[in-house]
Structure 1
Amino acid sequence: MTRPLISSITLLAAAFAMPTAAYATAGDSSRQSAEATSMTVSLDSCRNMALQSNKQLLIRNEAVNAAHFDNRAAFAAYLPSIDFAGGYTYNQKKISIFDSDQLLPTKTFNPATQKYEFNLAKNPLTGEPLKQPDGQYVPETVALIPKEAMTYDIHNVFFGAVTLTQPVYMGGKIVALNRLTHFAEELALEMKSNEAQNIVYAVDAAYWQVVSLKAKQRLTLSYVALLDTLRHNVKAMVDAGVATRSDLLTVEVKLNQAQVDQTKVDNGLVLSRMALAQLCGLPVDTRLTLADEDADLTHAASSATMAASSYDMDEVYQRRADLRALGYGVKMLEQGEKVALSAMLPNLAIVGAYSFSNPNMFDGFKKRFSGAFSVGAMLTVPIWHWGGNYNKLQAARSRTAMARLELADAREMVSLQVSQSAFRAQEAQKTFLMTTANLAKADENLRQADIGFREGVMTTDNVMEAQTAWLKANSENIDAMIDVRLCDVYLSKVLGNLRY
């Protein structure tokens, strides 16, 4: 986040230099911006517009909604489910129990034996029962059952059932899934919060980049004015014969270079405004005027980064949205272990159903709808799956162990990140104080050079050196002010204190 020191106007402009094509685009955009919508915005309003329009944040919001509905769907597994199933079947043939008419022998009660005996045809001479060639007795009387009486029309069959299933014990799967989806919803919320913080930081960086370039635009204007005044004075000296044409050409070359570099800074400012407008969800040709463009930032910058010297890492771990998201990820995987374990445990459910059909045979064969209730219980006990369920459980435990290690590694990285950010914030504050002191010296040096030049004790080169030093001091001071603000925002982000 520390910007390089700028020793001259050339280095200043090079820091924001763009390809030639970009300059042309920026020039066109500058002309268009005069006709585009103009807005005056503050840092908070830029943040709000970006949070409302950012597509990635909208995606995160939908992820939160999806996780919420998944949680509600998992809770529904506690409650009984009611389902209906129905269908229709066309059969080509009727169904018949017999292939032909049936003749059934009859019986008569014999009082002597107190039993029913078959009525058999007897030989009139011997009184013995008659037999057929195959050895079967010949009945004297028979009961006729026609084939048509036992033939049923099943060409069109309608059937259906309404079932109710109430889980009783599913091996802990339902409880684990409810907890898993709850943690998934919390994870989605933390990811949304983390994305919002990233957006806020990006907006802040773009915002202060515009403020920095605006300040440097004013600085380059002042520098060009200084060189123009110097050119005017040297020209008068040349006309008076106390300076050479070479001195005038040296100043004019420096002035032309400063004017070219000023154009580059102007183009960089236009492009930076476009980038900020895009982050805010506005058309890129929107002319944004920032509330801090012309504000005195010196006092505000000197009071920033107060948290760089005092923080509690345990509290940081609790506030960081990304670490909380990783923690919820670990909890989700722990519940995944319980889901895998449930496949090795018995499952018990109560089932009730009302089944009906047309035709039906509840009271003889009738071609009309009729049905009946049924209630039962279903128990499933896993016995042997060649280690498949056990291996799934072990894999789930390994994934949980991996997530715990990733969380521990992330905490170490956060600790390093916080330490580095605090150090950079403190260094940015020191750099700002040093550049402020150096700026006062550069102002005095330029004043002395101007006086010496007017008195004739200093040359043109001495004045240009003083002006270059003044430019460098001002540029470094602007960079230091912006660095303090960006370090403050970034430190708040890594500490989990960034509010939006």
Structure 2
Amino acid sequence: MLQRKYKTFVKVFVCAFAVLQGTGNLFAQQQLTLAESRELALKNNNRIGKAKEEVTASKSEKLIADVAGRPKLDASATAFYFGEPLNKMLPEYGLAPMVSVTQPIYTGGKIKFGKQLAEANIEMNNAGQRLVEDEVLLGTETAYWLVVQAKEEIKLEQQVKKQLASHYTFLNNQFQAGLIYKNDVLRAKVLQNENEARLQAAENKLALAKRRLSQLIGMEAQTDFDVADTFNTGTFSKPGISENTSAVRPEIDMANNAVKMSELTKGMLKADLKPTVGLALNGLAAFGKQGINFGDPAKNSMLTYFGMLSVKIPVFDWGSRREKVRQQEASIRSSEYGLKELKSQISVEIEQATLNLQLQANNIDLMQASLTEADENLKLSNDRFKAGTITGEDVLIAETLWQKAYSSMLDAKVRYKIADAIYRKATGQIK
């Protein structure tokens, strides 16, 4: 009996442990890679969502333009009642339903240009969506690496904190033994206070960077996640000078479409100088009091139809229509100059991004050399201090140099990662 109770207790304990372990995994902090962050941004970012809806709206506009030249069918019904003295001349009451069909015959090309404008507007909004996606991806990568930098800075300050605590304890013991002066201990305490301030600043920086990243990837204000990458992963290669200065950029597509839409608008304005022709067919019924049928007053119903052909010819408007065409021609030339200027700016932007990325790669090499030297200097200073050949102040100076070298290394790496993202955006490769 006792053995059975013991086995039952063991089973319950194992099950409870499994449940607690599963719960711990369930609430474990989510870890995001850079690729996952980019994917979430493309899926959930509000700016991208807005751009997608603008594309959807422009597609609906294209469907509307496609049916502009087709016949339109409309139906209406009118009920009426006339009091005296009108009921002496007209039927007193009645109902008149009507069906009408209208068909534009000639519009001077407006329907054709309208379709082309709607198509160009879709292309414009597609390019606008790509531009927003590029900007969001650049912001996401920048925010991601700032989170990584803040984490690395926290690790650095925590490591420095341990080193300073150990050094402070050693110096304090030496002071208590009367081997050194108190000012060596006080210097160590000042460095500890500065380290604590930097640690708090790094923690605040991490919280803000996470908040910014969560906003970009559509997680709103959630910050209960971690990033998987570190600066020890990946490469820091130097790109060659890009010979392709005409990168496929959405801004160029948008500028090209702006020129195209301006030319189509000119066609629409020219169409205003031409006549328009339209045809309308109408069927009419009337039901009511006797007399509603003009052909046979004894009847209380009537069926009839009629057609209308309308021709509208612009004759004289003081030249305003032609002036609108000339105004649009100037707008076209302005758009063409803007396109040339944009291509020139993008060419310069690509060259600047390339040179900056090369500079940041070189800086990493320099900072790595400085860190190696600072690390060796710190080890030698500790050894010489223990041997009694230098003072505690010399060790603290070596600690400070090492911390600054390590911090500069982190700055160089995050600047490289951001410069790499800017380079890929400039060359149209960030997506």
- The alignment's TM-score, normalised by the length of structure 2, stands at 0.87
Question: Which whole-Å CA distance do the structure 2 matches of 1:486 and 1:340 have between them?
Answer: 47
Which aligned pairs between 1:304-383 and structure 2 lie closer than 5 A?
306=239, 308-314=240-246, 316=247, 319-358=248-287, 360-361=292-293, 363-383=295-315
Match of 1:52 in 2: 43
Question: Which whole-Å CA distance do the structure 1 matches of 2:187 and 2:245 have between them?
Answer: 58
Match of 1:398 in 2: 330
Question: Which whole-Å CA distance do the structure 2 matches of 1:237 and 1:85 have between them?
Answer: 104
Q: 1:460 aligns with which of 366, 389, 392?
A: 392
Match of 1:215 in 2: 152
Q: CA deviation at 1:351?
A: 2.6
Q: Is the 8 A contact 1:223 1:471 kept in 2?
A: yes
**Deviation by residue 1:74-105 (Cα, 9 ceiling, x = unmatched):** 11112111122332333334679xxxxxxxxx
Match of 1:192 in 2: 129
Unaligned runs of 5+ in 1: 1-34, 97-150
Identity across aligned pairs (percent)?
22
Unaligned runs of 5+ in 2: 1-25
Higher Cα radius of gyration: 1
SS at match of 1:458: coil
Q: CA deviation at 1:421?
A: 1.1
Q: 1:206 aligns with which of 143, 166, 169?
A: 143
Match of 2:57 in 1: 66
Question: Which whole-Å CA distance do the structure 2 matches of 1:282 and 1:36 have between them?
Answer: 16
**Deviation by residue 1:47-83 (Cα, 9 ceiling, x = unmatched):** 2222322222221111111111111001111211112
Q: CA deviation at 1:235?
A: 2.0
Match of 2:173 in 1: 236
Q: CA deviation at 1:159?
A: 2.8
SS at match of 1:52: helix
SS at match of 1:364: coil
**Deviation by residue 1:167-220 (Cα, 9 ceiling, x = unmatched):** 222001000010001111111111111111111111111110010111111111
Match of 1:141 in 2: none
SS at match of 1:301: coil
Q: 2:374 aligns with which of 442, 449, 454?
A: 442
Gap change, CA 1:394 and 1:228, over 3 Å in 2 = same
Question: Which whole-Å CA distance do the structure 2 matches of 1:261 and 1:44 have between them?
Answer: 30
Q: CA deviation at 1:266?
A: 1.8
Q: Is the 8 A contact 1:84 1:161 kept in 2?
A: yes
Q: CA deviation at 1:329?
A: 1.8
Q: CA deviation at 1:36?
A: 8.3
SS at match of 1:243: coil
Q: 1:263 aligns with which of 200, 204, 207?
A: 200
Q: 2:163 aligns with which of 217, 226, 238?
A: 226
Structure 2 counterpart of 1:269, one-letter code: L
Question: Which whole-Å CA distance do the structure 2 matches of 1:351 and 1:376 have between them?
Answer: 5
Q: Is the 8 A contact 1:61 1:192 kept in 2?
A: yes
Aligned length: 403
Match of 2:18 in 1: none
- The alignment's TM-score, normalised by the length of structure 1, stands at 0.76
Q: CA deviation at 1:376?
A: 4.7
Gap change, CA 1:366 and 1:47, over 3 Å in 2 = farther
Question: Which whole-Å CA distance do the structure 2 matches of 1:330 and 1:366 have between them?
Answer: 66
Q: Is the 8 A contact 2:241 2:351 kept in 1?
A: no
Match of 1:156 in 2: 93
SS at match of 1:286: coil
SS at match of 2:310: strand
